[in-house]
Amino acid sequence: MTTDFLSLEELKHKVNVLIGALYPHCDSQELTEQCLAAIGPRISKDVVAPERLWSEKDCLLITYGNSIREAGHKPLDTLQHFLHNHLQGVFSAVHVLPFFPFSSDDGFAVIDYTQVDPELGDWDDINALAQDFKLMADLVINHVSSQSLWFRNYQYGKDPGRGYFVEADPNYDLSNVVRPRTSPLLRKTDTADGTKHVWCTFSHDQVDVDFRNEKVLLEYLSIIGRYLDEGAQWIRLDAVAFLWKQLGTSCIHLHETHEVIKLVRLLTEYKNAHALLISETNVPNRENLTYFGNSNEAHIIYNFSLPPLVIHALLAGDCTYLKTWMMTMPPSPVGCTYLNFTASHDGVGLRPAEGLLDEGELQQMLQTLESFGGRISSRTDAEGNSKPYEANISLYDAFKGTYKGSDQWQVERLISSQTIMLAVEGIPAFYIHTLFATHNDYDKVKTTGHNRSINRCNWSLSDLNERLGKENGPGQRVFNELQRLIKIRAKQPAFHPNATQFTLHIRPEIFAFWRQSMQRNQSIFCIYNLSDQPQQLNLADINLISTENWVDLISGNAIEDLCDTITLAPYQNLWLTNYCSQ
């Protein structure tokens, strides 16, 4: 339910209750009014039914502002023109990764949340993108750059910034703190009040803010309000799981973190009824699911377990682990859905595979990805042991072969992975380099010294046009076919993000599931040969209703005999439906 079903007084009451629990030292009514003032005047008061927040037409593109460059042009302007000319009508939404001035981590160490990085463009360029697409903006909510005004002011004891950061005694036992990096947690910092040790979950250039200070909350509500005013509709809560710090705990997924998200959702929906919150929590699956709350936290959560399981299935030619996971996944609650992706600006997260892939399977997958040019990044667990944290590799090169080695099916495996993602319950999200079948960028890794740079290539527009224009080349084949599949998907009500989904049981080489539209007038049987060998499929095994006509949406071929046995070519995909709306 959105806040548009609430009166202003009911909204204030809900906010006041949350404020009172989070900040008992404050006047909760006064802080409630300050929160409403910080988020700013309302943009939209429309009533939005939960099932209408998204549809089968929604598909997200993930990109950096400078993923495509052209000499003499601002990168955001180049991106906008490329997307407008090639992908408008294909994607409904675009996620431009942090486009603010930054000091490290390709944008995730933000210096100033209120400015667009002049190396990329300006707010007019962001507004132009928001005219063509629903815009997702990053709220890097856990930390700021050590070069930000807030942190500099903190060091000098000035506002704003004084009291904004988490300090800890280096002699305190912090071994229970969960974090994704191997660098020391605390950064020694000289301040006007002497030497302090400040909390840095990710790096010493990314200093954690202290949400126990209500002024920090107000700062971020003001930033959200600015994003919404500038045309953003989707707000991505980066690294939100680590937001609240409490000594003596793991400092991840704390109760207060969930309460802050509830508060942010209430106020964001008040500001714009069409606005959506997306939680970015790269953690084991069960922990990730908690960010739906009781349909009152994130509208959308990243389906972090999907990438490692899809990659494993296609490398192994075996859907056992992928199928087992899918059978355990709950339907998303009312007013919520999943964001499905197989590649992103980060590596392939391995924590979301914990408890889903056994150690032997995980190690075999990582060894194979390394043989295809990938790098493995690690983290330190509570016992001080180094554990694999993510695999860094372009998705195209991840599918260079199978456990048996390289082969000729690289393009087919890549397309199959995306065809799976397009059909699974939720909203599909494509990383721009998957569309282009971009290779590992070893030169960028060498330049930056960071493994993640391997999948953060910056294309020159001329080189990209050459790749996409090469007749029957991998770039052209992938780019054209994925666009075609996205357009087919957008016409199928059974691919609504909340449409019913059931897993089918055939055999390890064939992954299959069934989607049914909420109006129950369309069924789609999604069937994938995950192996490099032809596979026989007896259509009687999937129980197609004999009184209806069936067609494969992907090939356009009709099914003449529902008891026939058909041969699936290596990595062939079927979307069999009784309701063709191509």
Residue numbers annotated as active site: 238
Task: Please state, in angstroms and rounded to a whole number, the distance separating the CA atoms of residues 10 and 2.
Answer: 12
The DSSP annotation for 392-459 comes to E--HHHHTSEETTEE-S-HHHHHHHHHHHHHHSSSEEEEEHHHHTTPPP-HHHHHHH--GGGGG---E
Rounded Cα gap, residues 237 and 234, in angstroms = 10
Angle between helices 320-328 and 306-316 (to 10 degrees): 150
Residue 80 DSSP code = H
Q: How many helices and strands, by DSSP H and E, does the chain display?
A: 17, 27
> 348, 393 in Cβ contact below 8 A?
yes
Give the Cα separation of 416 and 492 in Å (integer).
19
Q: Tell the residue number behind the tokens 């919404």, with chain if given.
A: 228
| Helix (H), strand (E) at residue 529 | strand 523-529
Residues 235 and 136: their CA atoms lie apart, in Å, by: 6
Alpha-carbon span 200 to 177, nearest angstrom: 11
What tokens appear for 111 in the block? 């210096």
Angle 255-271/8-22 helices, nearest 10 degrees? Answer: 160
Gap between the Cα atoms of 284 and 287, Å rounded: 6
How far is residue 267's CA from residue 161's CA, in Å, rounded to a whole number? 23
